Amino acid sequence: EVQLLESGGGLVQPGGSLRLSCVASGFTFSNSAMSWVRQAPGKGLEWVSTISGSGGSTYYAESVKGRFTISRDNSENTLYLQMNSLRAEDTAVYYCAKRPGITVAGHWDFWGQGTLVTVSS
């Protein structure tokens, strides 16, 4: 059974940093591209970032480019999102999501339950 378990969310002041983690199980982690998708309170879904299975290729939304860094540790089956220079508009539930294969672009077949990030003073 595929499982994705996010952690690391919380309350942070504007300009602060957080690192999100997503521990994966039930599939061959290194064979799947992974993404972060966020959802502001009461709003729709917004793609944030994607990383290839090897970790060699990364992609970002313009809204987070230069502030967020996606990475993965395939030996630990873990996906990360380092978030720096956080802004109020980054407040959202952050989901990690799994691609069904090695191609980086496409749909996601499993999603974690999400972790809430609140940026406020």
Q: Token pair for residue 8?
A: 């690391």
Site for another protein (CB under 8 A): which residue of 8, 30, 47, 67?
47
Please, what is the minimum distance in Å from the beta carbon of residue 74 to another protein? Answer: 22
Q: Is 106 in the site for another protein (CB under 8 A)?
A: yes
Q: Is 107 in the site for another protein (CB under 8 A)?
A: yes
Residue with smaller CB distance to another protein, 4 or 83: 4
Residue 10: left if φ>0, alpha if ψ -120 to 50, beta else—which one?
left
Residue with smaller CB distance to another protein, 2 or 88: 2
Instruction: Enumerate residues 26-45 that contact another protein by CB under 8 A.
Output: 35, 37, 44-45
Residue with smaller CB distance to another protein, 110 or 118: 110
| R_g of the chain, CA atoms, integer Å | 13
Residue 25: left if φ>0, alpha if ψ -120 to 50, beta else—which one?
beta
Burial of 15 (0-12, 13-18, 19+ CB in 10 A): exposed
Interface positions with another protein (CB under 8 A): 35, 37, 44-47, 50, 59-62, 95, 105-114
